[in-house]
Amino acid sequence: MTDQRSYPTGIGTSSTDSIELLGLDLASDVLGKVSFGELAYWLATKRRPTPGQLRVFEAVLVSLADHGYTPTAIAARMTYYSAPESVQGAIAAGLLGGGSRFLGVTEDTGQFLAAIVKPLGDTSAYADADWDAVALDTVATAKAEGSKVPGLGHPVHKNGDPRTPVMFQIAREADVYGPQLSLFEAIGRTHAQVLGRTLPLNGAGVAGAALADAGLPLALLRGFALLARTAGLIGHLAEEQSDPVAPSIYMEVDRNARYVAPEH
């Protein structure tokens, strides 16, 4: 008897004459009818987003697309300079830098908030004062444990990340403002009482809270940050092709390198 192997997938398949995606015919039912943002949400959740969820999701993608000469952008540009025949390598190099300091904060924040919210049960009747109490306890616990609250603080936007209030507003307008965003905003209001200083809620953090409230899988939140940054990296590579900076970065470091003999 022939061993029948099966590799099930609900994403897509293709035959000689058609391509099926998420149970629909790609050519006739999807192309020109489903936006890329909607498709990305649908692929990750196996359900179509509500208009509000889609608006928040796409706003998050836009908010994370680029943040200037971050290490991820520099890595992509330098890799392209070294291997201009490999655009995919340059993009991959930039994406590999998405970690605890850049981009990864989105997932870290979403999971951190969700872990606190879940044991609370039904929070639909919570007022700001209730969330403030949870936030104070959250920050106090983190301080006692010697850990940081993800999404709190920014290396550049010391006086406030301009993306954060806009994301809160969009989520409210889209009726996607849920417990994760409520707790995150409360942390912003109350943390100074515990820490003795005021730090901004950063854009990557509010993105994580918004994605969680929009129903995206917590374990994939970093993936959405990387999806967003891919667009930014493509922009950097397009600029690198026409107005390169990587040669100057290389020459600056190489010509100013100072050899220090190892200690024995």
DSSP 8-state secondary structure symbol assigned to residue 21: E
- As a dihedral over the C-alpha atoms of residue 64, residue 228, residue 41, residue 36, rounded to 10 degrees, the angle is 120
**DSSP-assigned beta bridge partners for residue 152:** 201
Mean pLDDT, all residues of the chain: 94
Q: What angle do CA 251, 257, 259 make, to 5 degrees?
A: 155
In the three-class reduction of DSSP (H, G, I as helix; E, B as strand; rest coil), residue 43 is classed as: helix
Looking at 83-123, list the stretches that DSSP marks H as alpha helix, in order from N- to C-terminal side. Answer: 87-95, 104-117
Compute the distance between CA of residue 155 and CA of residue 53 in angstroms, rounded to an integer: 29
Short-list 235, 232, 239, 120, CA closest to 183: 120
The pLDDT assigned to 1 comes to 55
The pLDDT assigned to 253 comes to 94
**pTM to 2 decimal places:** 0.92
Compute the distance between CA of residue 191 and CA of residue 134 in angstroms, rounded to an integer: 11
What single string gives the DSSP state of each residue in 119-130? GG---TT--HHH
Short-list 78, 184, 173, 75, CA closest to 128: 184
The pLDDT assigned to 2 comes to 63
Can you tell me which residue has the tokens 């026409």?
242
Which residues, including other chains, have CB under 8 Å from residue 47's CB and lie 6 or more apart?
A: none
What is the second-level CATH architecture of the domain 104-217?
A: Orthogonal Bundle (1.10)
The pLDDT assigned to 29 comes to 94
Structure tokens that stand for 242 in this block:
């026409």
Q: State the DSSP H helix or E strand holding residue 20, giving kind and residue range, or none if neither.
A: strand 19-21
Short-list 190, 88, 92, 120, CA closest to 149: 190
The pLDDT assigned to 145 comes to 95
| pLDDT tens profile 46-85 | 999 999 999 999 999 999 999 899 999 999 999 999 999 9
The pLDDT assigned to 100 comes to 78
The pLDDT assigned to 222 comes to 94
- Please identify every stretch of the chain with a pLDDT value under 70, giving residue numbers as ranges: 1-2
| Range(s) of the chain covered by CATH 1.10.230.10 | 104-217
| pLDDT tens profile 223-253 | 999 999 999 999 999 999 999 999 999 999 9
